[in-house]
Every structure is written in C-alpha cells, then in structure tokens.
C-alpha cells in the first residue's frame, strides 16, 4: 500500500500550515494510490486504473502547461479530481523511473 497525502502540498510550500494543522490535514487526505494507479504495467507504463491513460501523459501535460491546473487536466482527459491528483502524486514519487521509461520508448519509436 502506498499512502500519499494530497491537498496540502501547495499550502506547505507556502508555509501556511503549522505542524499541528499539518498533521490534521495529512490524516484527512491520506489515500491508497493503488485504488487509482495500476501497478501492473500497460505497455511498461503505470496508468490510471481502468482508463489506460499513462501517468506520464497527465504529468507531462501539467509540466508542459503549468497554467492548465487540475480542472484543465480533468477536462482534457475526462478524469475525476482524485484521478488527476493520484497521477500527479504517483509521478512525483516515481519520476526517475517513469522518465527513464519514456526516454526508452522515445528512443525506440522516434518522432
């Protein structure tokens, strides 16, 4: 099981939560990413459960267009808010592995 806290990252980066409030927020937003991300690989790529949308696709869209936001990603890929957040958090935790997979795929199938 992979427990991940969502919803407080941006607030923490801006120093808006004290330790006690942070603990309450972390408990309230702990989820099991296996509910949303398939660990079984789809073409060697982790993807959203039941969607076949690779985590990398959502993460790269967010990276390439920083103003898109969660709601824009929800609309672009017809995903729920929790699916978008789960994909982004999974990518954050496994960025090196996922980027290496994508580099291999791009080298094998250029263009």
Based on the structure, what is the number of domains in the chain?
1
Structural domain that includes position 88: 3-108
Q: Which of 33-37, 42-46, 49-53, 63-67 is the least confident region?
A: 42-46
Q: Is the pLDDT of residue 57 over 60?
A: yes
The answer to whether 62 and 68 have CB atoms below 8 angstroms apart is yes
Element (H, E) at 30: strand 30-32
pLDDT band at 16 (very low <50, low <70, confident <90, very high): very low
Collapse the DSSP code of 42 into the 3-class scheme (helix H, G, I; strand E, B; otherwise coil) and give the result: strand
User: Which residues, at least 6 apart from 41, have a Cβ–Cβ distance to it below 8 Å?
Assistant: none
């Amino acid at each position: 099981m992979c427990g991940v806290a969502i919803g407080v990252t941006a607030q923490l980066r801006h120093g808006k939560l004290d330790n006690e409030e942070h603990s309450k927020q972390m408990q309230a937003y702990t989820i099991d990413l296996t509910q949303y991300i398939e660990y079984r690989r789809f073409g060697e790529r982790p993807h959203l459960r039941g969607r076949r949308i690779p985590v990398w696709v959502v993460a790269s869209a967010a990276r390439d267009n920083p103003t898109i936001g969660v709601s824009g990603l929800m609309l672009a890929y017809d995903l729920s808010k929790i699916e978008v957040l789960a994909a982004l958090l999974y990518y954050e935790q496994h960025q090196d592995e996922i980027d290496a997979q994508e580099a291999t795929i791009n080298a094998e199938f250029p263009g």
